[in-house]
């Protein structure tokens, strides 16, 4: 790719570790800037709260990124990727996020520009782990200097690592929900858990849809960030890949568990239905000869004993003996 000019980030006069936060006016870019690092190797973390045209204009004014990258910032159909340029990296990452408005998991995207002395993060929606790390660096000079002193690559590692680790609490909740569903299935509440099983299955599918393309992007990120991180720190990105693989393995396990629960629940429901049908069929068979006898003696023709009350008792007695005998036979054979 062609060599691009170096970023022209304007450095206003302020103390080290200062934070610049724009006002909340509609036409003012929502930009936060943290400064830190050792003397002679300063590092800036620029965090943009959104990708509105005003934030894009601010980026174009202060940086000389490729026009295609600015287009990717506004795109809603991006896949995780790592684009390498001579002077910087452009990274698109997506992490699972539970959206309370729609009640399901969705993908939260963060676009990152990584250069020799800056890290620019542009989330398309609030990411709790990213905001929390930024606030901690803002509040703690010691933590900020510790992270910034190791270079932009290590700062990117901490951002990505915290976002990946945020998946584990969601996975634990999902695992607990599967355990409760398993108990409900085997405690006879199969009818009530059908919707819950479908809901968990949908969560696993959405989680896998977010994590699957991230595995390739994280592997590319480990290779591409070597020029921005010290050799003794390269192993850290391998740790991110290990965490990502653990997330994927847990999702694979949950997928098998929920499919087994769904199959087991369907078997239980089918068994319950068969039992009901067997009981109904048995009663139908029991009542069939009684109905036949009643029909014969209820015909509008002369039948033996119709002029005597003894005939009535005889018919009722035969029907009672037949009923008791058939019920006893069916129970003995396990039909009832």
What are the pLDDT digits (tens) for 140-187?
A: 888 888 889 888 999 999 999 999 999 999 999 999 999 988 888 877
What are the pLDDT digits (tens) for 249-288?
A: 999 999 999 998 888 888 877 777 777 777 777 777 777 7
Q: In terms of CATH architecture, what is 1-149?
A: 2-Layer Sandwich (3.30)
Secondary structure string (H, E, C) spanning 131-159: HHHHHHHHHCHHHHHHHHCCCHHHHHHHH
Determine contact, residues 84/1, Cβ cutoff 8 Å. Answer: yes
| 273-332 matches 1-149 in CATH topology | no
Determine contact, residues 128/154, Cβ cutoff 8 Å. Answer: no
305 confidence band (pLDDT: 50, 70, 90): low
- Going by C-beta distance under 8 Å and a sequence separation of 6 or more, which residues neighbour residue 317? none
pTM above 0.85, yes or no: no
Class of CATH domain 273-332: mainly alpha
Domain residue ranges of the chain, discontinuous segments joined by +: 1-149, 273-332
């Amino acid at each position: 790719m062609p060599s691009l000019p170096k970023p022209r980030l304007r450095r206003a006069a302020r103390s080290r570790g200062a934070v610049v936060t724009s006002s909340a006016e509609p036409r003012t870019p929502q930009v936060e800037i943290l400064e830190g690092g050792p003397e002679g190797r300063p590092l800036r973390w620029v965090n943009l709260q959104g990708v509105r045209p005003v934030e894009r204009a601010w980026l174009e004014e202060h940086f000389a990124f490729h026009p295609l990258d600015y287009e990717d910032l506004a795109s809603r159909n991006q896949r995780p990727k790592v684009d390498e340029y001579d002077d910087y990296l452009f990274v698109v990452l997506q992490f699972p996020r539970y959206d309370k408005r729609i009640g399901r998991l969705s993908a939260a995207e963060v676009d990152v520009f990584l250069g020799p002395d800056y890290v620019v993060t542009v989330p398309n929606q609030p990411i709790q782990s990213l905001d929390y790390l930024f606030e901690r660096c803002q509040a703690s000079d010691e933590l900020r200097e510790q992270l910034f002193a190791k270079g932009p690559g290590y700062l990117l590692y901490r951002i990505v690592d915290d976002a990946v680790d945020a998946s584990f609490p969601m996975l634990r909740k999902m695992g607990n929900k599967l355990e409760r569903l398993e108990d409900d299935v085997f405690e006879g509440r199969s009818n009530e858990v059908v919707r819950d099983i479908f809901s968990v299955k949908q969560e696993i599918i959405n989680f896998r849809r977010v994590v699957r393309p991230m595995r390739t992007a994280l592997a590319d990120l480990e290779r591409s960030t070597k020029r921005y991180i010290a050799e003794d720190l390269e192993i850290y990105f391998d740790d991110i890949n290990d965490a990502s693989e653990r997330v994927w393995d847990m999702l694979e396990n949950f997928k098998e568990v929920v499919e087994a629960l769904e199959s087991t629940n369907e078997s239980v429901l089918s068994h319950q239905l068969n039992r009901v049908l067997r009981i109904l069929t048995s009663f139908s068979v029991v009542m069939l000869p009684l109905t036949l006898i009643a029909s014969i003696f209820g015909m509008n023709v002369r039948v033996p004993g119709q002029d005597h009350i003894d005939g009535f008792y005889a018919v009722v007695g035969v029907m009672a003996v037949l009923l008791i005998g058939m019920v006893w036979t069916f129970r003995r054979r396990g039909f009832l």
